[in-house]
């Protein structure tokens, strides 16, 4: 039954995020092609202005798509669980855990896909821009020499520190995705208990939870940063790597707590108008 829930939820959600990501990809191509215009020699006149505007539009599109997908997922979850549509949802012959898990999994998947889509769009725009600049300013030999210098710098100066840093990032990204998903689900689940103002209650719960998490993060991270400062740690990887691991663990714990809280509230304290 969980498979059927996931299939139905995916079909209900996929259209809007897909359209937003496709629009972002198109804007990435336009932003990259902006470098083909005489932006560097035109004094920001004519096509140069259009190139600058294309990159500004692309920048704001990245933020808009990220926030837009998050808002869409939040609204979709709220409507399907706590409005008139929720009466039909909660009559399905499934457990609360199956129902909630299917929605959380699809939401987390789309948050991950949006991050991947944004990364790909940046690579597209940057790749087109770099390719044009290489044709105009650099030779392939100079580019190979530059890449070799970067490789030598990484291998000689960063070494194992970079590997540990990169592993911390790889751990923190999925933790951040799950945590971000559960912040939405948990806030809405708490807010639905406010009978007359569920939306305002959800927004208030989100900001309250965010504030509490920030305070907890500062309490945990600040002593560690102070320790590095006192001991004169100069390598940025030695500072950031443990921070990423600690924040990732904290986000995992909070995500699990919010999941079970949401499941309890939906099973025991469901409030449908």
Question: Residue 159: left (phi > 0), alpha (psi -120 to 50), or beta?
Answer: left
Who wins on pLDDT, 234 or 41? Answer: 234
Model pLDDT for residues 155-207, shown as the tens digit of each residue: 544 555 666 777 778 888 999 999 999 999 999 999 988 878 888 999 999 99
For residue 37, what pLDDT is reported?
A: 57
For residue 237, what pLDDT is reported?
A: 64
Tell me how far CA of residue 93 lies from CA of 35, 82, 85, 90, in angstroms. Answer: 56, 17, 16, 8
Q: Give the separation between CA 94 and CA 72, rounded to whole angstroms.
A: 25
| Over residues 103-116, mean pLDDT | 95
pLDDT of residue 152 exceeding 70, the answer is no
Who wins on pLDDT, 40 or 235? Answer: 235
Number of H helices, E strands in the chain: 9, 0
Who wins on pLDDT, 215 or 273? Answer: 215
Residues 6+ apart with CB under 8 A from 216: 250
pLDDT of residue 44 exceeding 50, the answer is no
Backbone angles phi, psi at 12, to 5 degrees: -80, -20
Q: Give the separation between CA 259 and CA 20, rounded to whole angstroms.
A: 28
| Over residues 64-82, mean pLDDT | 93
For the ranges 23-27, 168-172, 223-227, the lowest mean pLDDT is seen at: 223-227
Who wins on pLDDT, 207 or 84? Answer: 207
For residue 137, what pLDDT is reported?
A: 53
User: CA 191 from chain center: how many Å?
Assistant: 23
Model pLDDT for residues 135-144, shown as the tens digit of each residue: 655 555 555 6
Residue keyed to tokens 């929720």: 86
Instruction: Report whether 86 contacts 80 (CB < 8 A).
Output: yes
pLDDT of residue 42 exceeding 90, the answer is no
pLDDT of residue 1 exceeding 90, the answer is no
Q: Give the separation between CA 246 and CA 220, rounded to whole angstroms.
A: 8
| Over residues 112-116, mean pLDDT | 95
Q: Give the separation between CA 97 and CA 264, rounded to whole angstroms.
A: 9
Q: Which of 115, 118, 114, 97 is nearest to 185 (CA)?
A: 97
Who wins on pLDDT, 147 or 171? Answer: 171
Model pLDDT for residues 55-70, shown as the tens digit of each residue: 888 899 999 999 999 9
Look over the chain and give the mean of its residue pLDDT values, rounded to a whole number. Answer: 82
Reported as a pLDDT band with limits 50, 70 and 90, residue 116 is: very high
For the ranges 103-107, 123-127, 159-163, the lowest mean pLDDT is seen at: 159-163
């Amino acid at each position: 039954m969980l498979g059927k829930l996931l299939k139905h939820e995916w079909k209900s959600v996929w259209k809007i995020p897909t359209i937003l990501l496709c629009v972002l990809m198109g804007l990435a191509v336009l932003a990259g092609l902006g470098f083909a215009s005489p932006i560097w020699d035109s004094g920001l006149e004519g096509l140069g202005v259009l190139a600058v505007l294309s990159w500004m539009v692309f920048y704001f599109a990245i933020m808009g798509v990220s926030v837009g997908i998050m808002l869409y997922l939040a609204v979709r979850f709220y409507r399907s669980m706590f409005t008139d549509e929720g009466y039909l949802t909660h009559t399905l012959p499934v457990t609360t855990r199956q129902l909630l898990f299917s929605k959380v999994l699809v939401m987390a998947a789309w948050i991950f896909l949006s991050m991947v889509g944004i990364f790909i769009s940046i690579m597209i725009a940057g790749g087109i821009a770099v390719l044009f600049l290489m044709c105009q300013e650099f030779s392939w030999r100079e580019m190979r020499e530059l890449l070799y210098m970067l490789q030598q710098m990484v291998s000689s100066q960063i070494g194992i520190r970079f590997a540990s840093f990169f592993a911390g990032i790889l751990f923190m990204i999925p933790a951040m995705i799950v945590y971000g998903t559960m912040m939405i689900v948990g806030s809405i689940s708490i807010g639905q208990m406010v009978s007359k103002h569920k939306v305002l209650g959800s927004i208030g719960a989100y900001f309250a939870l965010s504030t509490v998490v920030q305070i907890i993060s500062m309490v945990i991270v600040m002593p560690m940063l102070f320790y590095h400062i006192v001991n004169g740690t100069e390598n940025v990887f030695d500072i950031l790597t443990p921070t990423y691991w600690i924040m990732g663990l904290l986000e995992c714990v909070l995500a699990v707590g919010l999941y079970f809280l949401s499941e309890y509230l939906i099973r025991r304290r469901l409030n449908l108008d």
